[in-house]
Amino acid sequence: MAAPALSNGSYRVVVGDTTFDLTVHNGTLRLGDAAADVRLEPVSGQQYVLFVGPKVHRLVVEGREGSVLTLWIDGQRVEASVKDERALLMERFGMQAGGGGASKEVKAPMPGLVLAVHVAAGDAVEAGQRLLVLEAMKMENELKAAQAGTVAKILVAPGEAVGKGTLLVTFS
């Protein structure tokens, strides 16, 4: 099994009361403003050796639920919340990415411009399937189905500007 990897981008990691801002770029990890010498080597299954500068740690990935990883580091159980740039942006606009729950509607998490609609009324969709693309702050944000269902109505069209909280899609 390959070592868990972070894609290029920015992340916020919260472990207990400590928050870390990480930036990954072409295999280089920056912790805040400082470059960090970090390497993760697989041992077997979900077990890894974590090299942080001259220090060596044993890391075991116990599980993942949403953005929370449960880890064992040197025999100590730790829960780490990891959020990428998109999740942080959606949180800043007052909406959790991947919302969860049994919602029968999708609302705009932020003001923006509808770039594309990828489903139509009557379509059966799977959880995680792309519904539409919303451009906000010069970023394209794919809005996905939180759960499987059937699209009842599409209430927007490409090129339409929407405000935060605008109803975009309903499910039957």
Query: In CATH, what number is assigned to the domain containing residue 25?
Result: 3.30.700.30
pLDDT in tens, 37-51: 777 788 998 898 988
Report the alpha-carbon distance of residue 72 to residue 60 in Å, rounded: 5
Q: What is the mean pLDDT of residues 67-76?
A: 89
The yes-or-no verdict on residue 100 having pLDDT over 50 is: no
Residue 93 belongs to a domain: no
Tell me which of 14-18, 53-57, 88-92 is least confident.
88-92
Burial (CB < 10 A; 0-12, 13-18, 19+), residue 38, is: middle
pLDDT of res. 103:
65
Q: Which helix H or strand E contains 60, and what residues bound it?
A: strand 55-65
Q: What contacts 24+ positions apart, CB below 8 Å, involve 86-91?
A: 86/139, 86/141, 88/10, 88/12, 89/136, 89/137, 89/139, 89/141, 90/141
Residue 2 belongs to a domain: no
6: confidence class by pLDDT, cuts 50, 70, 90 = low
What does the mean pLDDT of the chain come to? 82
| Distance in angstroms between the alpha carbons of the first and the last residue of the chain | 40
> Where among 25, 55, 85 does a domain terminate?
85
Task: Report how many domains make up the chain.
Answer: 2
Claim to verify: residue 35 and residue 65 sit in the same structural domain: yes
Domain range holding 133? 103-171
pLDDT of res. 3:
40
Q: Which helix H or strand E contains 72, and what residues bound it?
A: strand 68-73
CATH number at residue 163: 2.40.50.100
> Where among 29, 59, 85 does a domain terminate?
85
Closest by CA position to 67, among listed 37, 98, 42, 38 = 98
Q: Indicate the DSSP class of residue 147.
A: S
Selected residue with higher pLDDT from 47 and 109: 47
172: confidence class by pLDDT, cuts 50, 70, 90 = confident
Is residue 89 within 8 Å of 151, Cβ to Cβ? no
Claim to verify: residue 32 and residue 80 sit in the same structural domain: yes
